[in-house]
Every structure is written in C-alpha cells, then in structure tokens.
Amino acid sequence: MTEPDFLEDGRLLFAGPCDFIFASAKAGDLPPLGPPEVAFAGRSNVGKSSLLNALTNRKTLARVSHTPGRTQQLNFFALGGQPGDERLRLVDMPGYGYAAVGKEKVASWGVLMRDYLRGRAALARVFVLVDGRRGVKPVDEEMFDLLDQSAVSYQVVLTKHDELKVSERAGVVDATLAALAKRPAAYPEIIFTSSHSGEGIPALRAAVARLLTERGA
C-alpha cells in the first residue's frame, strides 16, 4: 500500500466517531482488552490535548488546560465505531515532568503508566510528544527509558511547528533523530506537527492507519 493510501485511510479513520469510554486512575482499574490501542504521552503542557482534538477534528475531545498536570488518569477513547465495535482506542496518558505536583501523585502516576505499558498486548505504539521549541529534555529521555525497558514501540511527535522559524525546523528534527538513534524501541521517523496550523496532522493519522494495517485490524 502506498503512502497516499495511508493518508486517505487515516483521514477516513479519524473522520469517524470518537467517544470517551473509560478512565483509569489506578493500575488495577484498566479496561478489558479490546481493539488495538495507541497512546499519547508527553511532558505537561506540551500540547497533547490540543493535538488530540486536532487529530480527531474535535474541539473538546481532550480538555485543553493551561494548568500543568491536569490529566491525572488514563483516558480511553473509542475511534471508528461505537464502543464495543470500534477499530481503535486512543489513550491519553498523564503528562509528566511537572515539578509542582506532589511526590505522592507523581509516584502514583508512575505506577499507573508502568503497569499500563508492561504487558498491555493491545498497545500498538506510544506517540511521545516533544515540544519542538525546546527539543528532547532529560524528562523526555526518562520516558524513552521506560518505553525501551517495557519493549513498547514509540514514535516522537514534535509539536509547535508553527512557532519555529523555517530555518530552525530541520535542525530540531535532526537533533531528535540523533537522540533516538541507539534506542531499541524507538521508531526512526519524526512527525512534526502544529495543532494550530494543521501541519503534520495528516501524517500522524496516516501513521496510525499504517499501524492498524500492520496489525491486521
């Protein structure tokens, strides 16, 4: 299948219904396994909620907040069909790296994420959002470490494309690829996005459609 086919498949997939179905605040409260899942992780205030809204052509699928640490649970959304008959589940993970959140809360989020990532057979990939203006930071590398240790495929999605100068963008992509070069679970392609301009959104939808095809879903 050619790349244009995946672009169209991605467009059609995300043009379908998308409904909130489940929230997990603790490790023992994950929903039963169903269709393939793709999860979205990122540092607090990286633009994850805005990206999910842009990806699904909605304004309020994921709550956009200027308060870091707002997402405190795993939120599951059914995509491409009614809950129970969906093609895919999107999983919005808690933002990481916000120092003002109490240590107890950070620890509970860490346990939740670890338990979700390890042994979740339905999880096809984690898309890790990195602020394109700042590049990969130590807190992002900690997330990469966790994903490598969990043997979970992940792909970096750079955000804020529209807030960088044209002359800066290639350098950010190159630096990000270099940071991932020796990481065993990292997918070696970067998607540079902007929730504001729509840049990279079709490519991200296509990447998800490709995943479904590879899994035979």
Q: What is the mean pLDDT of each run of 10 residues along the chain (217 residues)?
A: 76 92 86 94 89 89 51 85 86 77 62 87 96 94 94 96 93 96 96 94 96 85
CA separation for the pair 56, 51 (Å, rounded): 9
Q: What is the CATH number of domain 3-214?
A: 3.40.50.300
- Name the pairing type of β-strands 88-92 and 37-42: parallel
Looking at residue 166, its pLDDT comes to: 93
Looking at residue 4, its pLDDT comes to: 61
Looking at residue 68, its pLDDT comes to: 45
Task: Taking each helix axis as running N to C, give the angle between helix 138-150 and helix 166-180, from 0 to 180 degrees, rounded to the nearest 10.
Answer: 40
Looking at residue 29, its pLDDT comes to: 85
User: Structure pTM?
Assistant: 0.90
Looking at residue 2, its pLDDT comes to: 47
Q: Facing residues of 22 across strands?
A: 76
Looking at residue 104, its pLDDT comes to: 61
Looking at residue 202, its pLDDT comes to: 96
pLDDT tens per residue across span 151-199: 999 999 999 999 889 999 999 999 999 999 999 999 999 999 999 999 9
